[in-house]
Amino acid sequence: MNNVGQLTSVKWDEEGKTFELHLTGKIKQQLSADPTLRPEYLSSLGLTKFTQRATEVALGKRSQAILENRVLGVHTPGFTAAMRLGAELLRHWYDVNAAWCGPVYLSSPCDDSLAGIFQAAGIQDIREYYYWDDKQRDICLDKLLEDLETAPEQSVVVLAASAHCPTGADLSQNQWAVITQLILRRRLFPFLMLPAQALCYGDLERDAWPVQLCASNGIELLCAQSFSHCFGLYGEAVGHLLCVLKHNSLLLSVQSQADKIVKSLWSQPSVGGARVVATVLSNPAHLVEWQGEVKHIVERCMLIREVLRERLRLLGTPGCWDHLTQQRGLYCCMGLNGQQVEFLSKWRHVYLLPSGCLNVSAINGRNLSYVAESIHLALTTSL
């Protein structure tokens, strides 16, 4: 049997190749023929047209924070870079007088690179809050709230606005309402993540709803965004860090410090991918075309989820698989333990994330049966 390959990162089409949006390809061609684009250094904070659009899609065009000019947007070379910049800003500038140095709370489980990013910025006090419950195959809100309730004031809490990695389980709007109240009450600082905006519902603003909720509640926040997934610009490192401040008077200072941090990390971001995104988001016709393509991706993911769930049911695979179709987006937690994950990679050449989660879009018509069988075997073979 051929090597089925990675069911971890990156989106694949039915042929198992990385998906490039048709529109993205078209825009890239246009841009390459554009004589007005100059090979010059950008500002450290990146392409202005891009940061304006990225800020708008996160907060909504009519956001009070934008109108009051108290939002800082920094174009970064990718999502990790946005998280790193945010971590550095917090480390150096969060409550200067109190010499704040953590704690930072990450969900359990979370992307395995997150802790390292905060540590690299010099924050060692990293803790977990309860998130995914294996038995319920869902988020356990009660335990989550318990953990955040006991977090020290001024803790930073990293929360996925949508497309939680690696579980794919997202908080509902009601759950967000409860959490924002807790954040206000306990004076916590939210650092939100939007790694795959628009890939849950095919709608940019819907995925950003939690960010808008926090902002409209007057909460200061950081938000790291990536446009790699939803524009098929993987190799192009298109990231953005949003910082919503309480007062406009703070904007220049925080901006100058962000500038200083960027200068000694990567100097300025790369422009290519950001130009594509800015072009699409600034043009109503492109936007409509783009939304069509994204909807198609989202529908394909939902279809795979349905078919996988049905196949597991037919195989009689033990466990409940409803969460496969109740959740949305690219990632899904299969509830497999470490041994089972190892079994899959070693004996079936099916590679999942160590947490037992997989990227749904890596499954296609040709490998679906094999993948479903493999999962079945992992769960039924005594290891």
Partner 1 sequence: MSVFSDVPQASPVAVFKLTADFREDSHPLKVNLGVGAYRTDDSQPWVLPVVKKVERLIVEDSSLNHEYLPILGLPEFRSAASKVALGDDSPAIAENRVGGVQTLGGTGALRIGADFLWRWYNGTNKTATPVYVSAPTWENHNGVFTDAGFKDIRPYRYWDAAKRGLDLTGLLDDLENAPERSIFVLHACAHNPTGTDPSQDEWKKIAEVMKRRKLFVFFDSAYQGFASGSLERDAWAIRFFVSDGFELFVAQSFSKNFGLYNERVGNLTVVAHDSKSLACTLSQMEKIVRTCWSNPPSQGARIVSKTLNSPELFAEWKGNVKTMADRVLLMRDQLKTKLQALGTPGTWEHITQQIGMFSFTGLNPKQVEYMIKQKHVYLMASGRINMCGLTTKNIDYVAQSIHEAVTKVQ
Q: If binding is defined by CB under 8 A, does position 42 make contact with partner 1?
A: yes
The Cα 137–Cα 122 span in angstroms is 34
Q: How far is CA 172 from CA 107, 299, 301, 330, in A?
A: 16, 20, 20, 17
Nearer to partner 1, 212 or 257 (CB): 257
Nearer to partner 1, 218 or 318 (CB): 218
Q: To the nearest 10°, the Cα dihedral for 324, 328, 331, 332?
A: -20
The least distance separating partner 1 from the CB of residue 243, rounded to whole angstroms, comes to 8
Instruction: Tell me which residue of 282, 366, 377, 276 sits closest to 334, measured CA to CA.
Output: 377
3-state secondary structure of 221: strand
Count of residues in the chain:
383
Q: If binding is defined by CB under 8 A, does position 220 make contact with partner 1?
A: yes
Q: Tell which one of 3, 36, 62, 96 touches partner 1 (CB under 8 A).
A: 96
Q: To the nearest 10°, the Cα dihedral for 270, 290, 13, 107?
A: 70
The least distance separating partner 1 from the CB of residue 142, rounded to whole angstroms, comes to 28
Q: Tell which one of 8, 9, 52, 216 touches partner 1 (CB under 8 A).
A: 9
Q: If binding is defined by CB under 8 A, does position 13 make contact with partner 1?
A: no
Q: If binding is defined by CB under 8 A, does position 50 make contact with partner 1?
A: no
Q: If binding is defined by CB under 8 A, does position 32 make contact with partner 1?
A: yes
The least distance separating partner 1 from the CB of residue 99, rounded to whole angstroms, comes to 11
What string of DSSP letters covers 26-74? HHHHHHHT-TT----PPPTT--HHHHHHHHHHHH-TT-HHHHTT-EEEE
By rule CB under 8 A, what count of residues binds partner 1? 66
Whether the CB-CB separation of 196 and 224 falls below 8 Å is answered with no
Instruction: Tell me which residue of 270, 217, 222, 271 sits closest to 244, measured CA to CA.
Output: 222
Q: How far is CA 218 from CA 65, 117, 297, 298, 343, in A?
A: 9, 27, 34, 32, 48
Whether omega for the bond prior to residue 210 falls within 30 degrees of 0, making it cis, is: no
Q: Tell which one of 60, 73, 78, 103 touches partner 1 (CB under 8 A).
A: 78
Nearer to partner 1, 101 or 314 (CB): 101
Q: If binding is defined by CB under 8 A, does position 138 make contact with partner 1?
A: no
Q: Segment 239-298, which members bind partner 1 (CB under 8 A)?
A: 245-247, 250, 252-254, 256-257, 259-261, 263-273
Q: If binding is defined by CB under 8 A, does position 236 make contact with partner 1?
A: yes
The least distance separating partner 1 from the CB of residue 66, rounded to whole angstroms, comes to 17
The Cα 237–Cα 228 span in angstroms is 7
C-alpha Rg value of the chain to the nearest Å: 21
Q: Tell which one of 234, 290, 321, 343 touches partner 1 (CB under 8 A).
A: 234
- Select from 24-32, 159-167, 209-217, 312-320 the region that touches partner 1 (CB under 8 A): 24-32
Q: If binding is defined by CB under 8 A, does position 36 make contact with partner 1?
A: no
In sequence order, what are the beta bridge partners of 129?
107
The least distance separating partner 1 from the CB of residue 281, rounded to whole angstroms, comes to 19
The least distance separating partner 1 from the CB of residue 194, rounded to whole angstroms, comes to 16
Q: Which two tokens mark 238?
A: 């298109």
Residues forming contacts to partner 1 in the complex (CB under 8 A) are 9-10, 17-20, 28-29, 32, 38-43, 76-81, 84, 93-97, 100, 113, 116-117, 119-120, 154, 189, 220, 228, 232-237, 245-247, 250, 252-254, 256-257, 259-261, 263-273
